[in-house]
Amino acid sequence: MRGGRRWRTFCRNKTALIGAGLVALVIVAALGAGVMATHDPETRVEASPVAEGAERAGSVVRQPPSADHWLGTDENGFDVWSRLVHGARASLLTALAAVGFALLIGVPIGLWSGWKGGLFDAAIMRAVDVMLAFPSILLAVAIAAVLGSGSLTTIVLAVGIVMVPTFVRQVRAAVLQVRSREFVVAARAIGARDTRILFRTVLPNCIAPILVLATLSTGIAVLDAAGLSFLGLGPPATTPEWGVMLTKGFKYVQRNLTWLYLPPGLAISLTVLGFNLLGDGLRDAFDPRSSR
C-alpha cells in the first residue's frame, strides 16, 4: 500500500519524470549503441563526396555535420555521432561501477559503524574526517596516478574511493536513526544475531536514503570521471568516452568547431541533470516531509 502511494507521489512529480526520462534515454543509448551508431566509433571514416566545407578537399578529418555524418567527424576522422552513443555506454558504466564500488565498501562499514558504536565507530569517523579533508578531485588525481593512468578501471576506482567516506557517513546516520526503533529492539530481544538484525532488519529500513544517495552520486561520478579525463588521467584518446571527446574538443574552441565540443558537453550535462532530478524525486517520494 505504502509502495503504491510513493509510486503515485513520484508520478505526480513532473520534474522527477523528466529526470527518469533523461536517465532512460542514456540507458537506451548505452544498451543500443551498436544499433544507433551509424559508423564504427574507432575507425577512420571513408572519404565521401561531401567534401564541401571540409578543411581540405577529400579530407575526412574534422568534417562539419552532414547527412552522412550527423555530427561531423573529429580530428582522427571518427564519426562523432557514433562516438557519442558509444560514449554513453562508457560513461554510464564508469559511473555505475564507481557508485557500485562505493556502495560495496561504504555500506557495510557505515552499517557496522553505526550499529556497534564505540571505538570502531570513533576510528572510522576519524578516518572519514581525514578523507573528507582532502580536496576530492586532487585525491582522485593522486589515486589515479598511483593506479597508473590511462584506463577506465583506474577512473572507476579513483572516483569510487573518493566517494566512500560520504557513503559511510550517510549510511551511519541512517542506522543511528533506525537502531533504537521498536522493531529493532524487538529483533534483539528475541535473540537475533547482530549480522542478521543488520542485514534483515536495519538495512531494509535504510534503503531509501541509500537509494537517493546512490542516484545523486551517479551524476557526480559522471562529472568526476569526465574531469579526470580532462586532466589527462583518462583512457586513451581514441576511446569513445564523453570526457575524452570533450578534452579533444577543447583544442578547437578558439576555431569554433562547435560539433567537436558541444555534443559531449551537452550529453554529460543532460545525463547529470537526469540523475539529479531523479534523485530529488525519489527523495520527495520516500520522505514526504522534505517535499516542498
Partner 1 sequence: MVFVLRRLLFTIPLLLAVSLVVFALADVLPGDAADQRFQKNPSLKQEWREKRGLTRPFLVRWGEYVARAVRLDLGESYWDDSPVSTDLWRRLAGTFELTVCAMVLAVLIGGALGILSAMYPRTPIDYAGQIVALFGISIPVFWLGMLLLTFTINVLGFPFESNRLPHWLEADSFGSHLYLFESLFTLRLADFLGCAKNILLPCVTLSTIPMAVITRMTRSAMLEEMGRDYARTARAKGLRSRKVVLKHVLRNALIPVTTITGLQFGQLMGGAVLTERIFGWPGLGSYVVEQAVDRRDTPILVGGILLIAATFVLVNLTVDLLYALIDPRVRRQA
For position 173 contacting partner 1 by CB under 8 A, the verdict is no
By CB under 8 A, name the one of 2, 57, 118, 254 that touches partner 1: 254
For position 279 contacting partner 1 by CB under 8 A, the verdict is no
| Alpha-carbon distances of 167 from 25, 84, 130, 183, rounded to whole Å | 27, 31, 15, 24
SS3 of residue 79 by DSSP = strand
Q: What are phi and psi of 79, to 5 degrees?
A: -75, 120
Binders of partner 1 among residues 191 to 250 (CB under 8 A) are 219, 223, 226-227, 230-231, 233, 246, 249-250
Nearer to partner 1, 41 or 279 (CB): 279
Nearer to partner 1, 199 or 250 (CB): 250
Distance CA 168, CA 161 (A): 11
140 half-sphere exposure, CB direction, 13 A CA radius:
29
Contact predicate 260/72, CB 8 Å: yes
155 Cα distance to chain centroid:
11
Binders of partner 1 among residues 82 to 141 (CB under 8 A) are 129-130, 133-139, 141
Nearer to partner 1, 41 or 249 (CB): 249
CA dihedral 58, 62, 67, 69 (to 10 degrees): 110
Binding range to partner 1, per CB under 8 A, among 95-103, 169-177, 179-187, 270-278: 270-278
Binding site for partner 1 (CB under 8 A): 129-130, 133-139, 141-143, 145-146, 148-149, 219, 223, 226-227, 230-231, 233, 246, 249-250, 253-254, 256, 261, 265, 268-270, 272-273, 276-277, 292
